[in-house]
Amino acid sequence: MRKFPLKGLLSRPLSEAAPEVLGEVEELGIALRQKLGRSLAIRLVDAGSCNGCELELQALGNPIYDLEQFGLKFVASPRHADVLLVTGPVTRNMEVALRRTYDAMPAPKWVAAVGDCARDGGCFAGSYAVVGGAAKVLAVDLYIAGCPPDPRALLQGLLGLLERASTGT
Amino acid sequence: MSDIFDLISVPAPEFRTGPMARHKVSRAEWQLAIDELARGGLSLLSLWASRGAVHMALRRGETGEIGVISVDSRRKTFPSVGVQHPAAQRLERAMVDLFGLSASGAIDARPWLDHGVWGLRHPMGKTSEQAIEAMDYQFLPSEGESLHQAAVGPVHAGIIEPGHFRFTTQGEIVVRLEARLGYAHKGVDALMSGVDARASAHLAARVCGDSSVAYGWAYAQAVEAALGVEVPARAIWLRALMAELERLANHLGDIGAICNDAAFGMMLARTSLLRERVLRECDTCFGHRFMKDVIVPGGITRDLDGEALRRLRVLTGEIGEAFAPLVALYDATASLLDRTVGAGVLSPELAQNFAAGGFVGRASGRDFDARRDLAYAPYDQLEFSVPTRRDGDVNARIWIRIDEVAQSLSLIGQILDGLPQGAIAAELPSRGAAREGLGLIEGFRGDILVWVKFDGRGRIARCHLRDPSWFQWPLLEAVIKDNILADFPLCNKSFNCAYSGVDL
């Protein structure tokens, strides 16, 4: 067991450089962000996704992407969260839970719709059981596209949000 | 009245190459099948409805042959299967919600998928605009002294899918757990009706995100069997290559995540690196980290060149080398084994009775793997073994995964060595007769069943997808009883049941 930490001490870090933030994200106009410093607490609600987006969000925690090095952190309670990530085509069965989670978050707060389903319902749009994209339920500040978005795309989106948060523009 | 076993007589090679026959049975014969399910002579592969009939796919224990039987439900009732065979209960409740049927004799008439917020009832049957009242869901009762209830979900603390767990505990000890699911219900069955085979394939790959390949393959297999399409050998071999890469990635992730739930984070850090390595190689070789949409009815959309084959060979070597010390670490860490050994024991009897697939069944002595027991190409030409254990605890489910990682690495090597040359896709006939097909593929969780019926104009009349977790979720509830509440995450992760896959 000892050889694992030892090897870790003697080798270079596995984490990769952060991806460049895209201009599109920088144009987001959101007020009051300077209050948050360079740290964002994130709460995820899977509002009916196929689990693909969750797998890639989980991957952000692996040593290669190492989300926490950027001050980004998934939190267990909405009471601790600044950002709500929504995945999936918001099912009718999840609509109330999604709304309540958002309501439980303290202001200021932002919503990011992750994946093509959260944008507009994706291939599930039009179903009797689906409300549609996250914007049908909450005001969305950021979209991260992909089916699912890969971890770099996720990081790119979240870092963009963080950058804007710290400059307060 | 015919012997019910005469109707369950299709061997694997037959349904894998041509349309699947379906036998219309009387209520009395349907009842005989239920009796045989309860007795253990038959095991349930799935239970579903279409307009006017209820269907059951069954497998005969002795011979391994399968069959599909149907009973008329035009009068809106059918004899309940769940009343005698509990494994069928939730499938039955889901079907009742979607089609507006009534399962006569059923002891659990609570809705399952319908939470009362769709704005309509019975979306697949005679639809009524009147939604059921968004009712107070009655959880099963527990009686005793000093009982305490804990409600968890549908929004969970971690990055996982939505579902509700209702625990009743006495002190720390779990007396009863009941799950309530359906939160991720997207109406997939309805979305798949009336569309062509290609459009449906896109949906099939999005039923359950971690099993895109297995679902894509099971769906494609059902379509190809129904339409009598012969898929080129190279496409079949590459499908198996993707299926094994998917299994490898998921097992690596699971092994780390289970240990992480026993507060041994280092294992997750290490295995998640290996998982990431696999996913990146999948991206490079197949153009998508989860290889979504590569499998289509008729074949696959992307071929591999020599460079990709070389990369995958390097990958398997590296994973094998890096994984061995992690297995040794698991096996030598007493504090970790202290959590996993003896936790969440599933008895072989229950695993057998529910026909639980995958690592859940195999860790409890159910020696079944669709790749071997309902053999399909190319696995009938490859060497592999199916690991089984009888201890049925969290540790056993970890070891099954560990052994299956080794098997998958070996299978990937064999596929790379033996990959035939040739085309990667066959044309689908644009129109054909009204025919039915069955697909059965071993995903990383267990066997996935897809049944598809074409309407004669090349469109899908009905497609039913049955996730392995239908027969695993209820067992998790049995397993957690008498364990401490704090061991639930550990037991739950060792099952790793699908939510979206069963909610559809």
ipTM for the predicted complex comes to: 0.93
Q: Name residue, tokens 């909405």.
A: A78
**Domain-embedded: residue B399:** yes
What does the pLDDT look like over B241-266, one tens digit per residue?
Answer: 999 999 999 999 999 999 999 999 99
Shortest distance between the Cα of A22 and any Cα of chain B, in A, equals 22
Place of tokens 């025919």: B435
State both tokens at B31.
Answer: 């009842």
Chain-chain contact of B203 with A123 (C-beta, under 8 angstroms)? yes
Q: Are residues B275 and B409 in the same domain?
A: yes
Residue B183 lies in a domain: no
pLDDT of residue A71: 86
Across residues B186-214, what is the average pLDDT?
93
Kindly state whether residue B187 falls inside one of the protein's structural domains. no
Examine residue B490 and state whether it is found in any structural domain, yes or no.
no
Alpha-carbon gap, residue B27 to B73, rounded angstroms = 10
The number of CA neighbours under 13 Å toward the Cβ of A104 is 17
pLDDT tens string A105-164 = 998 899 999 999 999 999 999 999 999 999 999 999 999 999 999 999 999 888 888 776
Average pLDDT in the B379-386 region? Answer: 96
Lowest mean pLDDT among A104-118, B255-269, B298-312, B431-445: B431-445
Model confidence pLDDT, tens digit, residues A70-84: 888 999 999 999 999
Residues 41-100, chain A, touching B (beta carbon < 8 A): 44-59, 61-64, 74, 76-78, 88-89, 91-97
Mean pLDDT of B339-355: 96
DSSP string across A12-73? ---PPPPPPPPHHHHT---SSGGGGTT-EEEEEEESS--SHHHHHHHHTTSTTT-GGGGTEE
Rounded-to-integer distance, Cα B52 and Cα B32, Å: 21
Q: How many independent structural domains does chain B possess?
A: 2
Average pLDDT, chain A: 86
Question: Is residue A24 scored above 80 in pLDDT?
Answer: no
**In the prediction, which pLDDT does A17 show?**
81
Asked if the model's pLDDT at residue A23 lies above 70, the reply is no
Q: Is residue B448 part of a domain?
A: yes
Nearest CB among A64, A97, A129 relative to B276 is that of A64
Question: Are both B241 and B385 inside the same structural domain?
Answer: yes
Q: Classify residue B368: in a domain, yes or no.
A: yes
Which run of H or E residues covers position B225?
Answer: helix B212-227
Task: Please tell me whether residues B100 and B214 are part of one structural domain.
Answer: no
User: What pLDDT score was predicted for residue B62?
Assistant: 81
Q: Residue A167 in 3-state DSSP?
A: helix
Q: Both B80 and B200 in a single domain?
A: no
pLDDT number for residue A25: 45
- In a domain? residue B426: yes
Q: Are residues B276 and B422 in the same domain?
A: yes
Question: What is the reported pLDDT for B457?
Answer: 83
CATH code of the domain containing B240 = 1.10.645.10
For residues A12 and A29, give the distance between their C-alpha atoms in angstroms, rounded to a whole number: 38
| Both tokens assigned to B41 | 């002579």
A147 part of contact set with chain B, CB < 8 Å: yes
Same domain, B225 and B98: no
Taken in order B284, B287, B292, B294, is the CA torsion positive or negative? negative
Whether residue B464 is found in the same domain as residue B336: yes
Kindly state the DSSP code that residue B209 receives in the 8-state scheme: G
**Coil, strand, or helix at residue A74?**
strand
Q: State how far the Cα of B89 lies from the Cα of B81, in Å rounded to an integer.
A: 7
Q: Which residues of B475-491 are buried (b: 16+ CB within 10 A; e: fewer)?
A: bbeebbeebebebbbbb
My answer on whether B94 and B204 are in the same domain is no
CB contact under 8 A, B333 and A147: no
Q: What percentage of chain B carries pLDDT values higher than 70?
A: 99
What is the structure's pLDDT at A32? 37
Q: Encoding tokens for residue B279?
A: 């996913």
Where a domain ends, among B104, B120, B136?
A: B104
Mean pLDDT of B312-316: 97
pTM, 2 dp: 0.94
Statement to judge: residues B210 and B68 lie in one domain: no
pLDDT of amino acid B166:
96
Round to whole Å and give the CA distance between B246 and B251: 9
Domain boundary among B50, B84, B104: B104
Domain membership of residue B393 (yes or no) is yes
Chain A residues whose CB is inside 8 A of the B159 CB are 44, 54, 57-58, 74
Nearest alpha carbon to residue A101 among A29, A165, A44, A25: A44
Q: Where residue B196 falls among pLDDT bands split at 50, 70, 90?
A: confident
Is residue B290 very low, low, confident or very high in pLDDT (cuts 50, 70, 90)?
A: very high
Shared domain for B270 and B389, answered yes or no, is: yes
Query: Could you tell me the CATH number of the domain that includes residue B97?
Result: 3.30.460.80
Q: What is the mean pLDDT of chain B?
A: 93
Same domain, B460 and B312: yes
Q: What is the span of the domain harbouring residue B441?
A: 196-468
- Domain finish residue from B55, B81, B104: B104
